[in-house]
Structure 1
Amino acid sequence: MAGVLDSVDSRTQLAGTNRLELLLFRLQGKQRYGINVFKVQEVIRCPKLSRMPKSNHRIVGVAHLRNRTIPIIDLGLAISNEPIVDKENSFVIVTEYNRFIQGFMVAGVDRITNMGWNEILPPPKGSGASSYLTAVTHVDNEMIEIIDVERVFADIMGVNEEIEVDVLDGASEFTDEKPKHILVVDDSSVARNQIKRVLQKVGIECTMANDGQEGYEALEKMLEDGVPLSEKIALVISDIEMPRMDGYTLTTKIRKDPRMQDLYVMLHTSLSGVFNNSMVEKVGANHFVPKFKPNELAHSVINVVNNKDPSDGMENISDA
């Protein structure tokens, strides 16, 4: 696996083309799983681990890597599966989500495969609300399961959804110039519900879509009566990684559609913030907010509805 993850440049060329690269791996058994290579910093043999007292049982220890200490999560346990048995011969996928670095312990790493987001499909119906799947795809005639990492983190780390009073005060400035309604596009049910609860606290309603294709179709439906979108929704909040159509492609389609091109688009994702800041400009989005920072999300949305720069006053906002 050494060398496969060395070059970021080749992978960034995929962004905005509705394509991605998946790192395939196994837990216990033959089933293969996938994770977007953009979120992977490196893949290593499991290093020596130190136990953390009173930590969640799914965090099997911490590792000291490159002058930093990161938690190591047994991904099998995290998705209510069997734990990794042979820890000494296991691998750790070091990832960055939501500005945090962590490692996922897996039994084995397979390879990286390049595919289109249109080949990434919603999980089969009947998988149940308790499923940790956010999507599936097929490689070599085998179904690959893609895990809802937002749910894993919510279960293990918990999620703070509290909003500071100073942030909420901005909602008192709302006027009738913009509708208090937002289209939220995200394939994770956990993420959608988190966003919905934050928006409810600032007095904003929302329409939900499960992926970019569904989001675009929702916008088209809103236009059927001939009323401009500006009179129906204030903005779109979109994830980037989604089945069928990713957030970059959704933004590009919005900008190319004369009926939608003036719509405000805010990208909301756990992918690297440094990379996304450049992609915001490339695909024509207006702003980027990292997951999941309730104060930052609420502040940015309130500012947009109030016709302000979403970053105004951000230096005074803190999300622990």
Structure 2
Amino acid sequence: MSDLLKKIDARTKLAGTNKLEILLFTLGLDQRSNRRENFGINVFKVREVMRTPEITQAPEMPPAVEGMVSLRGNLIPVIDLARYVGVKTESKPDIMIVSEYNGHTQGFLVEAVDTILRLDWTQMRVPPEMLNNNMRGLVTAVTELDSGKLVMMLDVEKVLAETNQIDDAHEFRAIQPQSDVVGRTVFYADDSAIARKQIQRTLEALQLNYVETINGKKAWEELQRIAAQAEQTGRPVKDYVQMILTDVEMPEMDGYMLTKSVKSDPRFAGIPVLMHSSLSGMSNQKLGQSVGVDAYVAKFEPHKLTEAVVSMLRGQQK
């Protein structure tokens, strides 16, 4: 298993190519459907894959959290993904995917890992409403491989938010509107409902206007519509939108490709792009910079998002 991931740190730079690489895994044979579903996780979020070490039970853990394991001197939570997703299996998973994103490290228990696939984000589709309902909103994208195998991308940000059970209401109450930027408009794109809700709460606390889209493709289509409207009125686009906030991982068009499209179109001159992602490693920040991102902020930190948005809007006014 270590051989499978030994080159993750040296992945080919995919920024601006609208491509991603995913690690495929299964959770076990579901006794209710008698099927094995196939899932994927971005390799940038995977630190390693290993046999599950001894798990220490801990009191008052969320239902899907199996316990804690010691990994190189650090205690990390272990989440039984089958139990979390609602897959009922006879056997206990004994493989652990160690995932690191948004500054958090956790273990995901799975039945087996398969391979790493390179795909184009255009192959990743927004999940049908029926699938979304059956999976309780846990799938952000779905694709069918040449073999006919259906692969679902889990909303790992939702998993993190729900299993950590963090009450962040106080963070939003602490956000105060800044008079010099109140009423400005932020355009944002994110495929995670959890992340979109956090962005919305932050912007509303700052008394900012916003336009919301669920992936890069829809964002680019809407931005082009806004640009066409601006041209008709003889005004610059920045009169309508003062900054763009984008996630990285999104079906159909990722944040790198969206940024590259914005930065190569002179109609959007003077509109800064803030990348907002759970892929918080320096390598990912450098990938963002390579396509013209103006700044980078990690997800699930409302105060840092507030600081970045306010700073960027103030800079845009100069």
Output the TM-score relative to the length of structure 1. Answer: 0.89
Give 1:165 deviation, angstroms: 7.1
Q: CA 1:91–1:149 in 2, change beyond 3 Å: closer, same or farther?
A: same
Residue 210 of structure 2 is aligned to residue 203 of structure 1: no
Q: CA 1:107–1:166 in 2, change beyond 3 Å: closer, same or farther?
A: closer
2:22 paired residue number: 22
1:234 paired residue number: 242
CA RMSD of aligned residues (A): 2.0
1:135 paired residue number: 141
Partners of 2:89 and 2:140 in 1: how far apart? 21
Please list every run of 5 or more consecutive structure 2 residues that lacks an aligned counterpart in the other structure. 30-35
SS at 1:14's partner residue? coil
Give 1:246 deviation, angstroms: 0.5
Contact 1:251 1:284 in 2 (8 A): yes
Partners of 2:23 and 2:44 in 1: how far apart? 10
Amino acid at match of 1:80: G
Give 1:84 deviation, angstroms: 7.4
Residue 135 of structure 2 is aligned to residue 124 of structure 1: no
Contact 2:15 2:291 in 1 (8 A): no
SS at 1:194's partner residue? helix
Contact 1:62 1:70 in 2 (8 A): yes
Partners of 1:117 and 1:162 in 2: how far apart? 36
Please list every run of 5 or more consecutive structure 1 residues that lacks an aligned counterpart in the other structure. 310-320
Amino acid at match of 2:156: V
Give 1:42 deviation, angstroms: 0.1
SS at 1:174's partner residue? coil
Residue 118 of structure 2 is aligned to residue 114 of structure 1: yes
Output the TM-score relative to the length of structure 2. Answer: 0.89
Contact 2:132 2:138 in 1 (8 A): no
* Percent identical: 34
Count residues with an aligned counterpart: 303
Q: Following superposition of structure 1 onto structure 2, how do residues 100-111 of structure 1 map, counting pairs within 5 Å?
A: 100-111=104-115
Q: CA 1:272–1:12 in 2, change beyond 3 Å: closer, same or farther?
A: farther
Q: Following superposition of structure 1 onto structure 2, how do residues 162-181 of structure 1 map, counting pairs within 5 Å?
A: 162-163=170-171, 168=176, 171-174=178-181, 180-181=184-185
2:225 paired residue number: 221
Q: CA 1:228–1:282 in 2, change beyond 3 Å: closer, same or farther?
A: same
Which runs of at least 4 in structure 1 moved beyond 3 Å after TM superposition? 161-167
1:306 paired residue number: 314
1:295 paired residue number: 303
SS at 2:268's partner residue? coil
Give 1:167 deviation, angstroms: 5.0
Amino acid at match of 2:162: D
Query: Of the candidates 55, 60, 64, which is equivalent to residue 61 of structure 2?
Result: 55
Partners of 1:263 and 1:137 in 2: how far apart? 33
1:315 paired residue number: none
